[in-house]
Amino acid sequence: MRSSICLLPVFLLTSFAAFARAGDESAENSDSAPILNQLPIPVPVSSESDSLPQAETSVQLGKVVVTGQRSTVGAGQVSTQSQLGVLGDRNVFDTPFSTSAYTDELIRDQQARSIADVTDNDAAVRSASSRYSESIGYAIRGFPVYGGDVLFDGLYGLVDYRDPALEGIERIDVFKGPSALVNNGASDTAVGGTINLVPKRATAEPIDRLTLGYDSNADSEAHLDIGRRFGADNAFGARINIGGRVGDTPIDNQFEQAGNGTLGLDYNGQRLRASFDFSSASRKLLANLSVFLVDPGFAIPKAPEASSNVVDHSSYFHDHNTFGAGQIEYDLLDHLTVFAAYGHRRLAERYKGPYAPEITDAGGDVNIAVEPYAGGDDTDVARFGLRGSFDTGPVAHQLTLSADGYWDREEGGYATDDTLTTNIYHPRPLAPDVPNYPDAPNNYLDSTRRGSLALADVATAFDGRLSVIAGVREQSIASRSADPSSGEEQSTYNKSKLTPAAAVLYKLLPHLSIYGNYIQALQSGPTAPTGTANANQIFPPLVASQIEAGAKVDFGIGGMTLAAYQIEQPSGITDPSTNVFSGDGEQRNRGLELNVFGTVLPGLRLLGGYSLIDAVQAKTDDANQGKKAVGTPRNNLNLGTEWDVPYLAGLTATARAIYTSRQFYDPDDSRSIPSWTRFDAGARYAFVVNQYRLTARAEVENLANKNYWSSAQQGYLAIGAPRTFLMSLSSEF
């Protein structure tokens, strides 16, 4: 019965794809026999990136619009364009910040199912959660990055912060370091970096692509991607993506069902550019694999089998995320543009059953709570501004004034009904002991309001060899907690702060640049806890700051970047001698990053890098001062390769190695998890059958089926994913 259910979305999407093609008036060779009615010999296609026509694309409406040949390197894996919020889309080699931009080609070729799968290519980023959890977290430059730090087309608060679907995404941009100036400052945790999802747009050539996929334990998926441009000069565009996934995952007891649909509309006129995106996604997960807490007083147990699971189908998670976003810009004059954007999101989620396992002894015994939870979230985000360009003598300026607003209302509740026991090495069925599920209580109502005004200038001189960015953002943070039944106010916060930034880039040679920057991130200030001498005192926002210097080399067919940085993040501490609470605590991360991407030899491509981080507790209120920060590995190495096999055109072999060094679990550095290395391998084959372009892909992740704790970020243990087989077949019809 389950296998029939798994094939249902495949059948529906295949039928829809056939219908879409039949109705396409522009389809050629309409009298040719359908592919399923013939058994022709496949014709291989060269796997070099220039063997297949590169689609044109319109990149990022509502800021800086670039229409034309898409700019990528490394067979389309990495884009040379990256979105910098208020500064618009910019070439990564001309940007005085550390950024990475991963394309839809990479997402498809690596069969990525989440953002974490994509950032496995980046040494500066590590996943901070178990791979098959209901919620995916990250760490960038050693600092936690939560789902709320993921933007959609430059706007906060729209995508599902648990684990957003990627079917409608054209590019994933990773900005490394604080970003208060370039982004709208709506995040409260974006110290190490931010992730931005750029939506797909219709290309100059029609797109009709169907992908069917399968992984180790009967988790089947299907994805339909259709795009068209129409109207005078192809000014109007529409892109539809429908995806679904259902079946057992590689984790014991776990069953997943997910579906999503996206619609992207755009208009690219002479003076007016506009876009609208709509997305609806739903996900159900039985036997959610959570992160682990570990009690003090004993050595951290070794990791269990990667496929094991301490919970069963009595653990249930369901969420539904829907949002719409529109952006528009209009050229008032040749050198003056007005722009605006608005988005609204509604999220509803529900959790019941065992959750939050806590390891209680060295033998792997676990206490696990039974927690009903239900919550809802309404978010609105808006932007309005002006962008103008002018010259002052030999210096060209692009000046941007932007006002941003963010409003969020959360309501929900949770409770702990019971605590069960099991063991990480010998899990037992929990369902017989799980009590009947009561409705989750409605015990919180929180609202957040953030507003900001930013002014930024990008000045260039010496024929573009020198670029200077300077700007400031004034931000205000207001939050309120209330009793949901009475509406009685329980706590409030309302503060504001200026966050300046400056950056410079100079091209020593046409393809060699050096750069430096100073930029900040803003966090809500803490409140002095009960028991301190200044209890309940509300502090102004805390400002994290970064100083960075680096170099970038553009080889044309690839690139390399080198960056050295220091990030200082303040935190709240209590002086042990005076018992006065203050915001004078600090974690300091100093790091060195090397990134390489692109073609190194004909038919051979590299993608990866190395990250060295010295993360210390620089200022604390106890004996931990000077000790290493929790959950931050000192050395990270990612190296992926692609080799176009010369003996068979269209065949590409792939391999990747990921290394993460030891991570401390406790603030006193008394316990740690060991280093780990993961190896992946795969292949893809591109060929043509009766004018249909097909690509078959196969990959094995965690080739050695290694058991390991993958992260100790924030004092939570995440377990690495087991050996996973991925297969897919894509058809462009």
User: 480-491 pLDDT, tens per residue?
Assistant: 887 766 667 777
- Rounded to an integer, the average pLDDT of 180-207 is 87
Of 128-137, 343-352, 354-363, 700-709, minimum mean pLDDT range:
128-137
Q: Has residue 240 been placed in a domain?
A: no
355 Cβ contact partners less than 8 Å away, ≥ 6 residues apart? 288, 290, 311, 315, 368, 369, 370, 371, 373
Which of residues 59 and 274 earns the better pLDDT score?
A: 274
Nearest to 47 by CA among 603, 557, 440: 603
> Going by DSSP bridges, is the β-strand pair 676-689/692-701 parallel, antiparallel, or unpaired?
antiparallel
Q: Are 697 and 109 in contact (CB under 8 A)?
A: yes
Torsion of CA 548, 553, 557, 558, to 10 degrees: -40
Asked whether residue 661 carries a pLDDT value surpassing 50, the answer given is yes
Residue-wise pLDDT for 203-233, tens only, equals 999 999 999 999 887 789 999 999 999 999 9
Q: Has residue 236 been placed in a domain?
A: no
Q: Has residue 385 been placed in a domain?
A: yes
For residue 67, what is the enclosing H or E element?
strand 66-69
pLDDT class of 436 with cuts at 50, 70, 90: confident
Q: What is the pLDDT of residue 147?
A: 75
Asked whether residue 49 carries a pLDDT value surpassing 50, the answer given is no
End-to-end CA separation in angstroms for the chain: 31
SS3 of 582-633 = EEEEEEEEEEEEEEEEEEEECCEEEEEEEEEEEEEEEECCCCCCCCECCCCC
Q: Has residue 667 been placed in a domain?
A: yes
pLDDT class of 575 with cuts at 50, 70, 90: confident
- Partners of 731 in beta bridges: 210, 694
Q: What is the pLDDT of residue 414?
A: 84
Q: Report residue 242 as tokens.
A: 């429908």
Return the percentage of the chain with pLDDT > 70, whole number. 89
For residue 52, what is the enclosing H or E element?
none
Taking every pair of Cα atoms in the chain, the longest distance, rounded to a whole number of angstroms, is: 87
Which of residues 509 and 67 earns the better pLDDT score?
A: 509
Q: Has residue 82 been placed in a domain?
A: yes
pLDDT class of 281 with cuts at 50, 70, 90: very high
Q: Has residue 245 been placed in a domain?
A: no
- Rounded to an integer, the average pLDDT of 690-702 is 95
Asked whether residue 74 carries a pLDDT value surpassing 80, the answer given is no
Q: Has residue 139 been placed in a domain?
A: yes
pLDDT class of 402 with cuts at 50, 70, 90: very high
Distance between CA atoms of residues 93 and 554, nearest Å: 7
- Rounded to an integer, the average pLDDT of 313-340 is 96
Asked whether residue 42 carries a pLDDT value surpassing 70, the answer given is no
Q: What is the pLDDT of residue 113?
A: 93
pLDDT class of 371 with cuts at 50, 70, 90: confident
- Rounded to an integer, the average pLDDT of 510-529 is 91
Asked whether residue 26 carries a pLDDT value surpassing 90, the answer given is no
**How far is CA 2 from each of CA 136, 253, 327, 379, 422, rounded to the nearest angstrom?**
27, 14, 42, 37, 28
Nearest to 503 by CA among 237, 106, 182, 276: 182
- Sign, CA torsion 180/183/185/187: negative
Q: What is the pLDDT of residue 44?
A: 58
Q: Nearest 5 degrees, angle CA 474-CA 476-CA 479? A: 165
- Rounded to an integer, the average pLDDT of 604-620 is 96
Q: What is the pLDDT of residue 18?
A: 38
CA within 13 Å, CB half, 593: 29
Residue 99: CATH number of its domain: 2.40.170.20
Residue-wise pLDDT for 128-164, tens only, equals 998 889 888 899 999 998 877 799 999 999 999 899 9
Q: Are 508 and 514 in contact (CB under 8 A)?
A: yes
Distance between CA atoms of residues 394 and 391, nearest Å: 7
Distance between CA atoms of residues 40 and 400, nearest Å: 57
Structural domain total, the chain:
1
Asked whether residue 29 carries a pLDDT value surpassing 60, the answer given is no
Asked whether residue 33 carries a pLDDT value surpassing 70, the answer given is no
Report the range out of 56-65, 71-80, 577-586 with the highest average pLDDT: 577-586
Return the percentage of the chain with pLDDT > 90, whole number. 71
Q: What is the pLDDT of residue 524?
A: 82
Q: What is the pLDDT of residue 45?
A: 55
> Going by DSSP bridges, is the β-strand pair 125-127/81-83 parallel, antiparallel, or unpaired?
unpaired
Residue-wise pLDDT for 520-552, tens only, equals 998 888 888 888 999 888 888 889 999 999 999
1 Cβ contact partners less than 8 Å away, ≥ 6 residues apart? none
Residue 149, domain extent: 2-229+250-316+336-439+451-732
Q: Has residue 665 been placed in a domain?
A: yes
Asked whether residue 437 carries a pLDDT value surpassing 80, the answer given is no
Mean per-residue pLDDT over the chain, rounded: 88
Q: What is the pLDDT of residue 335?
A: 95
Q: Nearest 5 degrees, angle CA 260-CA 262-CA 264? A: 170
Q: Are 665 and 652 in contact (CB under 8 A)?
A: no
